[in-house]
Structure 1
C-alpha cells in the first residue's frame, strides 16, 4: 500500500472511531471562549531556574501536561485548545527554560535538559503519572521523557515533530541555517514580551532555540522502539515533518496510532501564530485526542 493511501486509510479509521464513540463529537454553535483562568499558577524552583506553571480544570485523575513549541509561550501554542481540555480533565501547562515567564540558566536549551525540568516539575507538584502532549519542540521534549521515564508517562501525544533530521524537508534546514532574529515572526516576539517585557531575554531565547535546532541530533531506531506506551503521532498534511516520517514512527513504536489533520504547522491546534482564524479546528482536534487518551 502506498504511503499516501496508508495515511488516508488510518486517518479515516481514527475519525470514524471517534465519531462512533459513546460520546459522539459535535461542533458547538459557539466555540469555547479563548483563554482559561488557572486554578493554580506559580513559579517552581526547578534545577536552578524558576519554572512558570499553570493548573487548569478541577477533575481528578491522570493530568494532561502540555509542552509548548519552540520560541512560544503557553498562550501561543495552547490558548485555544487548553480550555477545551480543561472541561474534562486536569491540565498542567508550563513555559520551558528561558521561555515566557520561566527564568533562564547559564546553559544551552536542549531537549534533554528540558525533559529533566518537566520531570522535576511533576515531582514538585506530586504528580506520579501523567499524559503528555508535546507540540513541535515540545514533542521532542515529551519523547525524551517517555524514553527515560516510562513509568511517569501513561500516554503520549507527539505532535508535529521529528526524531531524525531527514524527517523534515530540506528547505526547513536551509531556513534554520540562515535564520536571524530579525525574521523571527513578530507575533512570537509580541507574545513573549507581553508576559516578559525584556527584549534581551527574548533575544537570548531566540538564539538558544535556533542553536538547538541547528544542532539537532537524530534519535536511534533502538531508542524510538523502546517507547512502550500508547502514542498518538499527530501532524498536519502540510506540516514541517514529512508524512512519510510519521508513518515510519508509527511502524517503530509498538502502540502508536497516526492522526493526520488538514493544514500546516499548528493549524489543528488553532495555534495563535499560524491558525489564521480556523476556529473549529481546536474542538475537532481535542475530541480526537481525548478519545485517544480515554481509550483502553
Structure 2
C-alpha cells in the first residue's frame, strides 16, 4: 500500500492518492475530530456533490471525502462499476488511512454504496446517513428508467460534465465514466430485503419531497431498518445539500441539513 499526500493546509485540507485494489484513489481530508466519510453520487466529484456543505461539516468533524472508480481524479480499472466493488474500495482506502471506525454519509449512488459497506464491512461503520439512496428498482421515478437507454454524454447534466473536466487528468475519461455509470444503473438489481433488515447500526434516511427517489421508497427503507430515523426535506435530488445540479441561487438549506446531521451523529 502506498499513500501519496499533498499538503494543502493553506487551503484548509489535505489531498492525496492511495493504492486501492488496482486503483489510484483520490481523497481529501478536512478538519479534526471523529471521522465522517462522504461518498458521492454517480457522475460526480467531491466538489460537485459536497462542496457546499464540507465547510460546515469540517467545523466539528474529520471529514474524509473520496472519488470512486473512474470518477473525478480516481483512475479506472478494466472492470464494470458495481456498488459492491465500490464498497470494498472504500473499505481498503480507510484501512490505508488507518481509519478503524467512522460515520458515513452517502448520497444517491453513494448511498447505495454506503448500504453495501454496512452489509459487507459493518465493523468499520458506526452510524450511517443514507441521502436519496436506492435499494430497489421500484424506488426511483419511472421516467429515469425510461431515460436510461437513451442516456449519453451529450444529455448528461452540463454541471457534472464541467465538474469532471475541471479535475480529471484525461478528458476522454468522461465518456468512460458516463457509460459505466449508465450500464450499472440499467443493470441495477434489488438489494435483498434480508440484507437490509440485518443492518444494526444507527441509520438516518434523508429524502427530498421532489426527489428522483420516491417518498414511498424512503419510507420502505425506514421500515426495513429497525430503529432508523427518517427526514423528508424540501427540494429536488440533493437540493438539501447544494448538490450542483440542484443548487439554487442564495442556497442556505445546507445549514439546516448539517444541523440535522450533527443532531443524529452526536446522539
1:39 Cα deviation after fit: 3.1
Instruction: Please give the alpha-carbon distance, in whole angstroms, between the structure 1 residues aligned to 2:168 and 2:227.
Output: 40
- Aligned to 2:122, the other structure's residue is in SS state coil
Once the two structures are superposed, what CA deviation does each residue of 1:121-156 show, in whole Å capped at 9, x if it has no partner? 000000010000000000000000011111210000
Question: In 1, distance between residues paired with 2:230 and 2:149?
Answer: 30
Partner of 1:117: 89
* 1:38/1:54 contact within 8 Å kept: no
Match of 1:73 among 32, 42, 45: 45
Gapped runs of 5+ residues in structure 2?
A: 1-9
Partner of 1:227: 199
Whether 2:241 is the aligned partner of 1:269: answer: yes
Tell me, yes or no, if structure 1 residue 92 matches structure 2 residue 92. Answer: no
Q: Which residue of 2 aligns with 1:46?
A: 20
Instruction: Assess if the C-alpha contact under 8 Å between 1:133 and 1:156 holds in 2.
Output: yes
CA apart distance, 1:199: 2.5
State how far apart, in whole Å, the 1-side matches of 2:177 and 2:78 are.
12
Q: Alpha-carbon deviations, 1:246-282, whole Å to 9, x = none?
A: 1111111012100000000010001122122252111
Q: Distance in 2 between matches of 1:277 and 1:37?
A: 25
Match of 1:29 in 2: none
1:109-188 equivalences under 5 Å are 109-188=81-160
Distance 1:149 1:37 in 2: 32
* Structure 1 vs Structure 2 CA RMSD: 1.2
Superposed displacement of residue 172, structure 1? 1.3
- Secondary structure of the 1:205 match is helix
Cα deviation 1:170-200 (Å, max 9, x = unaligned) = 1111011221221001111111010015221
Per the alignment, residue 12 of structure 1 pairs with none
Distance 1:197 1:190 in 2: 13
Distance 2:233 2:250 in 1: 13
Distance 1:247 1:37 in 2: 40
**1:238 and 2:215 correspond:** no
> Over residues 19-66 of structure 1, what are the superposed CA-to-partner deviations in whole Å (9 max), with x where a residue is unaligned?
xxxxxxxxxxxxxxxxx934321010111010000100023xx30000
In 1, Cα distance between equivalents of 2:143 and 2:149: 10
Aligned pairs, number: 258
* Corresponding residue for residue 189 of structure 1: 161
- Counterpart pick for 1:56 among 17, 30, 42: 30
Q: 1:136 & 1:279 partners in 2: Cα distance?
A: 20
TM-score by length of 2: 0.94
Distance 1:42 1:246, change over 3 A: same
SS of residue matched to 1:43? strand
Deviations 1:59-78 (A, max 9, x none): 3xx30000001000000000
Structure number with greater CO (CA < 8 Å, separation at least 6) is 1
Equivalent residues of 1:267, 1:278 under 8 A apart = no
Q: Extract structure 1 runs of 4+ deviating beyond 6 A.
A: none
Distance 2:13 2:211 in 1: 34
State the 1:169 CA deviation.
1.6
Q: Distance in 1 between matches of 2:30 and 2:148?
A: 34
